[in-house]
Structure 1
Amino acid sequence: MKHIKVLVTGATGFLGFRTLEKLIDLPYISEIIATGRTLKETHTVHHPKVTYMLGDLSQYSFVEKIVTNVDYIVHTAALSSPWGAYKEFESANVTVQQNIIKASEQNDIKKIIYISTPSIYFTASDRFDIKESDPLPSRFINAYATTKRLAEISLENSNIPYIILRPRALVGRGDTVIMPRLIRASDENKLKIIGNGKNVVDFTSVANVVDAIILGFNASPAAMNQAYNITNGDPVCIWDKISLILTLLNKKAPNKKVSYTLAHFVAYLLELRSKLTTMKEPTLTVYSVGILAKSFTMDISKAKKLLGYTPKVTTDEAIHEFCEWYTSI
């Protein structure tokens, strides 16, 4: 592969900065434009190949500027939250995608690697070995899932060669969202085991997702214009791993249980109250209850076959990596 110039969106976030760390070591990548909203020292990569250009991707003029002379785009930027106003998700996930596609088509971009979400599969019920070809729900669980699927469709209908990755529950150094949410809930004595505590789920080491992105750079023609599930390929009991994280951080693991039915009902009432008043995110959402109470595993055989994807970092290794980083910041 000849030398290429890469744009990474969301480069100041968890997956984005971990991607930058790996891309700088690839000899065929000559330059990286890294974009985000705000630089944080913990998530900044200092290297001659990396140029940060901060701005708002919902503004087409900014997107047009950063896409000029780029070969590949790794699009990790998104509004990812279980709660919020639909228009905010639409702007961050759909409008931004449309801006990137428009600018890409005008600048002869060779490939877009888009980070989507398995939330589009979520039905608030136990699901096992979900394949990319399985029917999607007739109605998505929230605005995040809805707009991420719309963003996928925009890319699928474009003239740009693409790869869509759907990584499940990222874990590792740099996570400021998933694990910190659970830690805060524990610190506030709000974390209870929902359901029987035996539900199994997939996690994904952030390092494995970065590997999948790099495999996307070198994907064969047969692997292009496809969506791929990405996980560690080793489903685990979610509550065992939550307990492990809290134990490693010298915090008390949850031992109190609440039934799924009760938690779901309370979340529904909290959401209703929020919609009728402030629209502030409630302490419990229907989506988060389902994530913590239901089994959710995905089939990654397609990524293994077409991309050559092999998970290298285990869930426990990623958890230890996160905990060491979290205690050091």
Structure 2
Amino acid sequence: MKILLTGATGGLGFRTLERLIENPKVEKIIATGRVIRPTHFVENSKVNYQLGNLEDADFVSQLVEQADYIVHAAALSSPWGKYAEFEKANVFTMKNLINAAKKHHIKRFVYVSTPSLYFNGQDRFDVKESDPLPTAFVNAYSKTKYEAEVALEKSGIPYVTLRPRALIGRGDTIIMPRLIRAFEEGKLKIIGDGKNIVDLTSLANVADSIELSLFVGDTGLYQIYNITNGEPVKLWETIEKVLSMLGHEMNKKKVPYSVVKFISQIMELKAKLTNYKEPALTTYGAGILAKSFTMDISKAKTFLGYSPKVSTDEAIDEFVSWYLVES
């Protein structure tokens, strides 16, 4: 088995590399990304890094020609930005990969999507893959990730789409680091009542779900799967725990969600009317921190054989140990 892994230089990418090189059925992994970071580099005879831009159709074709399976984990991920930028990074790259996959007869395509397309600004519990999506997506990221999902579904290529929620653990450069920076800048305050419950997902568990997707039988193909740790936690208690482990004491002042949402809307409007620079606070960001959000993973358990092996506490411990060394 020869695998093309996009986004291989990111947090999930390098954890997936670590997982796949241990599988004796995997002969070679073409690992692609923009820039290699020493903290996210895997040195192994099975791994061949080839850096470049997935918006370049010729480069993509050259990559795909060397593989028989694709794992697409690369994306432009941000709560803010112009649609055209996300369309190029998330939709055009998917179309390049699909075209190359058809040309070079790829056997299977595993796509790492996002559950942010479920977001509707309300508390949501046990969301299933079959539940109706919002009539309008919250941002360009969610919209383009969904468009990429649809393009893959229509391609005819055997596929598995994964929607992992809030990735944490060793190698996380997004979720916890952003919260830590907000704390250090004095901008982190509890939004709402602080009792909201959310799903988090260990990077190791997502890597496991990717490996399962590569080997699942025919009954597991042409499906979308929610992926989480399967143990919802109180978000602000978890944030406080991480900060405490790093020697910080969190400010427990609470700000009403309605106030924060209104301010974020004003900030977004100002940004759109000026230079479109990402505001300090977005409506999506406020909602994620204030609202409960959990997902049903029974489908992944039944058809993928997915079972979370790394607990949230274990993922937090490994993140803190890694962060203290690398930051």
Query: Structure 1-normalised TM-score?
Result: 0.98
Match of 2:50 in 1: 53
2:76 is aligned with what amino acid? Answer: L
Match of 2:9 in 1: 12
- Superposed structure 1 runs of 4+ greater than 4 Å apart: none
1:195 aligns with 2:192: yes
1:295 aligns with 2:323: no
**How much has 1:254 moved relative to structure 2?**
2.8
Question: In structure 2, which of residues 18, 21, 35 is the aligned counterpart of residue 21 of structure 1?
Answer: 18
Contact residue 15 and residue 207 of structure 2 kept, 8 A: yes
1:326 is aligned with what amino acid? Answer: Y
Contact residue 30 and residue 66 of structure 2 kept, 8 A: no
1:240 aligns with 2:219: no
SS in 2 for 1:279: coil
Match of 1:216 in 2: 213
2:237 is aligned with what amino acid? Answer: D
1:106 aligns with 2:84: no
Q: How does 1:98-247 map to 2 (within 5 A)?
A: 98-247=95-244
Unaligned ranges ≥5, structure 1: none
Question: In structure 2, which of residues 256, 261, 283 is the aligned counterpart of residue 259 of structure 1?
Answer: 256
TM-superposition CA deviations, 1:215-257 (whole Å, max 9, x none): 1111111110000000000111000000011001111213111
Q: Distance in 2 between matches of 1:126 and 1:313?
A: 26
Contact residue 107 and residue 158 of structure 2 kept, 8 A: yes
Aligned length: 326
Contact residue 300 and residue 306 of structure 2 kept, 8 A: yes
SS in 1 for 2:188: coil
Contact residue 19 and residue 207 of structure 2 kept, 8 A: yes
What percentage of aligned pairs have identical amino acids?
58
SS in 2 for 1:322: helix
Q: Distance in 2 between matches of 1:202 and 1:165?
A: 15
TM-superposition CA deviations, 1:46-73 (whole Å, max 9, x none): 0111000000001101100100031111
Q: Distance in 2 between matches of 1:301 and 1:159?
A: 26
SS in 1 for 2:204: helix
RMSD: 0.6
2:315 is aligned with what amino acid? Answer: A
Q: Distance in 2 between matches of 1:274 and 1:169?
A: 26
Q: Distance in 1 between matches of 2:211 and 2:292?
A: 29
